[in-house]
Structure 1
Amino acid sequence: MWTVAAILVGIVVLVVLSRRLSEKTSPPGPRGLPFIGNILDLQRERRETVLLRWKEKYGPIYQFTSLGMTNFVISDPDLIREAFSKVETTDRPTNIIFSLVMADKGLVFSSGELWKQSRRFSLHHLRNFGMGRSTLETVIQDQVQELIDDVLAPNVGKPICIDHSLRVAVVNIIWRIVASKKIDRTDTAALQAMTSFDEFDSFKSLFIVVLMFPVLLRLPGWVTGMDKVRQRFRESVKTLMRPAIQEHEETVDLNGEPRDYIDCMLQERSRNPELFTKRHMLRCMMDLFIAGYDTTTSTLRWAFIYLTLHPEVQRKVQEEITNVVGKERPPALSDRTRMPYTEAFIMETQRMANIAPTGVEHVTREEIQLGGYTIPRGAQVISLLMAVHMDEKHFPEPEVFRPERFLDEQGRVKPNRALMPFSVGKRSCLGEALARAELFLFVTGLLQRFTIRFPDGFDHDLSCIEYKRLIRKPTEYHLVIMENV
């Protein structure tokens, strides 16, 4: 009798000690409901808003649960750099929804050896095709000039929404690298495919319910709903991606000089068919295509908002363009080093816009130690970049738009390690060099010739499109374009 009692007491003591030890090695965080955790909290408003509120309560590293997954949120720049420099944090989450849209493959959401080889392969070949080099400069300049000649100049003095034309211009830059192709502004099929990719965010509520209750996929109504999602995805792929691959398959020289990224993938598939499957190729193309226009276009749209809300900033950028470039030639990437204020303006736009406020989730493949806490294997790690960018410790008066914060006393660009719009570490943005080039050339190309303002009586309230949850995309607005005198 006493032996049984002693054993029970020992078990209780071990459980209590184990919990206390776990509390010491795990960060604080909000309590969640059984099984679903804090998922409902994150559905009531924008995700980054909830995470920012929890950050104020629990500190620079905290945890929450969602559908059985433990999530660790980091908002300290040094901890983010430390975490994402580890090979143990390079995996991505996966679920049945990801599989539905082939996100278990590709460049953004793949993990392990597939991701490692694909990233190395893509970086190598994209650099060969001029990403971040002057060889791509002409392609960007041509799209800037087309936007000016075909859209802006004919509408001087009129309120105009340039969202559509801007997206096509940015798409054509990456599509040139990927497929040696160009999308026409009147190509309704291609434009509809682009719109379909955008609309996947609007299905998020459906996805969440399916993840909570996978058994629903066996019910006719839910099967029909998911089939509609699958069909829309397949139509988008069928319209843009598959025809490009098929055309290249018929004309590629597997042993010759590749014309573009698709040729490179086909050549690699001939050598490594198990890894570079058609499914993987399609998703790689999609990742480059979507990431290549969505984030850059959104950043440019925020840039035009800030230029319009702060006309004194717009004048300073224009003065720098006039002094360095003049009006006889288009701005070039070689001008960037002599245009520190313009660079500072772009950096401040990226800080304030927070296009990807939480980055893309990482998953730990092994247990790691971070900030005095233990992060177990299989946990998601989220970088709350918006909290970093809006932290007064790193950026005094963070709510104020002030490009000068990125300039030193001599007016030279002063980098800040807390600014990380492209994330950091082993899975930082693959197209960072291209995006930086595009932002500079579009901003300077347009302001060299035009001054922009909002229509009389309108001011943008800096609100975001609500259904776009992964990217902070500003709500629609019109601009009045005026020729510089």
Structure 2
Amino acid sequence: MPQSHNFGIIVFASLSKLQGRPSSHRSNASFAFVMFVALLAIMLAVLATALYSVLKKNNHPPGPRGLPLIGRALSIDWGHPDRSFTEWSRRYGPIMKVTAGWETMIVLSDPDLIREAFNGPLAVARQSSPGFELLYADKGIILTSGGLWHETRRFTLFHLKNFGMGRSRSVEIIHDQIKEFIEEVMEPSKGQPTSVDHSLNVAILNILWALVAGEIVSIRDAKLLKIIEKQDEFANKGRMFLLFANVPCLMLLPEGITGIKKILAIFHYPIDHLLLPAIESHRRTVDLTGEPRDYIDCLLQEQSRQPELFTDRHLLRCILDLFVAGFDTTASTLRWAFCFLCTHQDVQQRLHDEICRVIGRERPPELADKASMPYTEAFIMETQRLSSVSGIGVAHVSTAEFRLGGYTVPRGAQVISNLAAVHLDDRLFPEPHRFRPERFLDERGQLRPSRALMPFSVGRRSCLGETLARTELFLFVTSVVQRYRLRFPDGFQHDFTINESKAFIKEPTPYQLIPERRW
């Protein structure tokens, strides 16, 4: 018998005792109040019993119980939800249900379940809420659904490939940015402690910005550095929007509590100082019937053909999605890579030996070298696994009820991949907290990828910049290790904790390293 039913019996028993007392011990008003409370308790008990029966009948996954109307919204670490989900999954298993406000979340911590859900046709939509719409999330590439998403993703992939994403043109830009990063950051600091500052983010951003807007700036450019600082500030304060998305009524609280206006001002900073000026500059010079110069030209040309679909709001959010997704995850992964190299000198030496054997000391690394460098590939995979920079990725939403893992996923539920839990599962990766690139090599030293490693997610909504990001990681790592031995200052060891001031993306707590020239 459900606990709620027992509660109703207890209430009735208590009332019976109360009614049996002399009338001098109670007034009519107090008796009426007690009766009201009792009836309310009974109604709640009946409702809970009915809800229990419905959930049991619908065969929803198990999961932690929450408060009425709020669920577990106040228990989730909205900056890094994978922490909360991983803790609960230890009790409830690889597929569980978590409620937050009016949202139902189906959290998956098993790679096969994630692949089955995300490769299927019924979990490809995105969450929609008033909070997200304040961020233009009803438009763009990442957070839209249905025909708009399908058309925009196809359009974006086609044109970015035409402009060389992951091909020779982007490789040339990557080499230029690596050269500037080495000359401006690493070389002046050789033999001395230095921080890998936001110049790395600018270098990564420049690669995509050249394809999007046809522009490249100095990695010390003050305007772009300020924009990246604002983006970090929004990533810290913007975690509130995930809470608002799941419990929208909280947005009715006073501004002094929510701080929405201040958060939105931070959000608009890169829009006002970089994206809108770039769009307006292109709008004045674009040839709507000629050869496009970059992605913004393509958007403007498509807007002239489909103005009802490619609105100004949609154009802006498309560019913003590429801006945000294009640099932060890759730059954070490189910070982890340098951190692991400093910590594991034996790994760094083996990596350098492979670079010298395949590439040599003088010639810059090329993308074609990748196939002959399994240890380098394994090192990057292990970096992505242990860091899990995107702990849960972006939530999918089910467009219809479907079966998964023996349970029913309800229509409209968020389907969340807990990638951090998968990457640290000792059944999939023995000794998961040890940094060991060899786990991705076979007995002959050849690369052995794992289907459980999913740093770019999987399925129909996997990261569209995956090819470019893999190219950036390979060329940056090999180019730096070819020239420098990286180490921490004497007496320092990193504890692999994450920067808590930054939400959504896991980057290591700040550290200094010493680059030493190898020859």
What's the TM-score once normalised by structure 2's chain length? 0.87
| Mapping of residues 114-125 of structure 1, within 5 Å | 114-125=148-159
Shift of 1:23: 5.4
AA aligned to 2:271 is V
Q: Structure 1 363/151 Cα, relative in aligned 2: closer, same or farther at 3 Å?
A: same
Shift of 1:457: 1.4
| Mapping of residues 383-398 of structure 1, within 5 Å | 383-398=417-432
AA aligned to 1:398 is P
Shift of 1:63: 0.5
Q: Structure 1 189/372 Cα, relative in aligned 2: closer, same or farther at 3 Å?
A: same
Is residue 366 from structure 1 mapped to residue 408 from structure 2 by the alignment?
A: no
Q: Is the 1:123–1:430 contact (alpha carbons within 8 Å) kept by the matching residues of 2? A: yes
The equivalent residue for 2:163 is 129
| Mapping of residues 285-296 of structure 1, within 5 Å | 285-296=319-330
Shift of 1:228: 2.1
Is residue 214 from structure 1 mapped to residue 249 from structure 2 by the alignment?
A: yes
Q: Structure 1 125/310 Cα, relative in aligned 2: closer, same or farther at 3 Å?
A: same
The equivalent residue for 1:202 is 236
Q: Distance in 2 between matches of 1:18 and 1:229?
A: 39
* Structure 1 unpaired stretches of 5+: 1-11
Q: Structure 1 221/54 Cα, relative in aligned 2: closer, same or farther at 3 Å?
A: closer
Q: Distance in 2 between matches of 1:130 and 1:405?
A: 33
Deviates more, 1:92-101 or 1:208-217: 208-217
The equivalent residue for 1:254 is 288
Q: Structure 1 49/221 Cα, relative in aligned 2: closer, same or farther at 3 Å?
A: closer
Q: Structure 1 311/256 Cα, relative in aligned 2: closer, same or farther at 3 Å?
A: same
Q: Structure 1 163/469 Cα, relative in aligned 2: closer, same or farther at 3 Å?
A: same
Deviates more, 1:135-144 or 1:37-46: 37-46
Q: Is the 2:192–2:514 contact (alpha carbons within 8 Å) kept by the matching residues of 1? A: yes
* Structure 2 unpaired stretches of 5+: 1-45
The equivalent residue for 1:381 is 415
User: Residue by residue, what CA displacement relative to the aligned partner does 1:49-87 show, whole Å, maximum 9, x if unpaired?
Assistant: 211111110111000100111100011111100100122
The equivalent residue for 2:298 is 264
Q: Is the 1:134–1:333 contact (alpha carbons within 8 Å) kept by the matching residues of 2? A: no
Q: Distance in 2 between matches of 1:208 and 1:156?
A: 42
Q: Is the 1:47–1:469 contact (alpha carbons within 8 Å) kept by the matching residues of 2? A: no
Shift of 1:110: 1.0
User: Residue by residue, what CA displacement relative to the aligned partner does 1:293-343 show, whole Å, maximum 9, x if unpaired?
Assistant: 000000000001111111000001100110110122100000000011000
Tell me the SS of whatever aligns to 2:486.
Answer: strand
Deviates more, 1:453-462 or 1:295-304: 453-462
Tell me the SS of whatever aligns to 1:41.
Answer: coil
Q: Is the 2:235–2:503 contact (alpha carbons within 8 Å) kept by the matching residues of 1? A: yes
Q: Distance in 2 between matches of 1:101 and 1:216?
A: 14
| Mapping of residues 450-465 of structure 1, within 5 Å | 450-465=484-499
The equivalent residue for 1:184 is 218
Is residue 332 from structure 1 mapped to residue 340 from structure 2 by the alignment?
A: no
Residue 111 of structure 1 is aligned with which of 145, 156, 168? Answer: 145
Is residue 407 from structure 1 mapped to residue 441 from structure 2 by the alignment?
A: yes
Tell me the SS of whatever aligns to 1:91.
Answer: coil
Q: Is the 2:198–2:228 contact (alpha carbons within 8 Å) kept by the matching residues of 1? A: no
Q: Distance in 2 between matches of 1:252 and 1:327?
A: 44
Tell me the SS of whatever aligns to 1:257.
Answer: coil
Tell me the SS of whatever aligns to 1:229.
Answer: helix
Shift of 1:409: 1.5
Q: Is the 1:46–1:466 contact (alpha carbons within 8 Å) kept by the matching residues of 2? A: no
AA aligned to 1:280 is H
Residue 382 of structure 2 is aligned with which of 343, 348, 351? Answer: 348
Q: Distance in 2 between matches of 1:241 and 1:222?
A: 30
Residue 90 of structure 2 is aligned with which of 49, 56, 59? Answer: 56
User: Residue by residue, what CA displacement relative to the aligned partner does 1:14-63 show, whole Å, maximum 9, x if unpaired?
Assistant: x7698166356111100001111001211398421211111110111000
Q: Is the 1:216–1:222 contact (alpha carbons within 8 Å) kept by the matching residues of 2? A: no
Is residue 449 from structure 1 mapped to residue 483 from structure 2 by the alignment?
A: yes
Shift of 1:214: 3.4
AA aligned to 1:37 is G
Shift of 1:357: 1.1
| Identity among equivalent pairs (%) | 51
Tell me the SS of whatever aligns to 1:87.
Answer: coil
The equivalent residue for 1:234 is 268
The equivalent residue for 1:34 is 68
Deviates more, 1:474-483 or 1:132-141: 132-141
Q: Distance in 1 between matches of 2:518 and 2:57?
A: 62
Q: Is the 1:300–1:439 contact (alpha carbons within 8 Å) kept by the matching residues of 2? A: yes
Q: Is the 1:81–1:425 contact (alpha carbons within 8 Å) kept by the matching residues of 2? A: yes
Q: Structure 1 248/17 Cα, relative in aligned 2: closer, same or farther at 3 Å?
A: closer
Is residue 85 from structure 1 mapped to residue 119 from structure 2 by the alignment?
A: yes
The equivalent residue for 2:10 is none
Q: Is the 1:210–1:217 contact (alpha carbons within 8 Å) kept by the matching residues of 2? A: no
Q: Is the 2:69–2:101 contact (alpha carbons within 8 Å) kept by the matching residues of 1? A: yes
Tell me the SS of whatever aligns to 1:39.
Answer: coil
Shift of 1:467: 3.2
AA aligned to 1:200 is F
Number of residue-to-residue matches in the alignment: 471
Tell me the SS of whatever aligns to 1:153.
Answer: helix
Deviates more, 1:230-239 or 1:21-30: 21-30
Q: Is the 2:377–2:447 contact (alpha carbons within 8 Å) kept by the matching residues of 1? A: yes
Q: Structure 1 385/281 Cα, relative in aligned 2: closer, same or farther at 3 Å?
A: same
Q: Distance in 1 between matches of 2:112 and 2:248?
A: 38
The equivalent residue for 2:355 is 321
Q: Distance in 1 between matches of 2:223 and 2:283?
A: 22
AA aligned to 1:285 is I
Shift of 1:259: 0.9
Tell me the SS of whatever aligns to 1:482.
Answer: strand
AA aligned to 1:328 is E
Q: Distance in 2 between matches of 1:241 and 1:151?
A: 27
Q: Distance in 1 between matches of 2:390 and 2:480?
A: 25
Is residue 466 from structure 1 mapped to residue 503 from structure 2 by the alignment?
A: no
Q: Structure 1 119/205 Cα, relative in aligned 2: closer, same or farther at 3 Å?
A: closer
Shift of 1:359: 1.2
Q: Distance in 1 between matches of 2:369 and 2:289?
A: 38
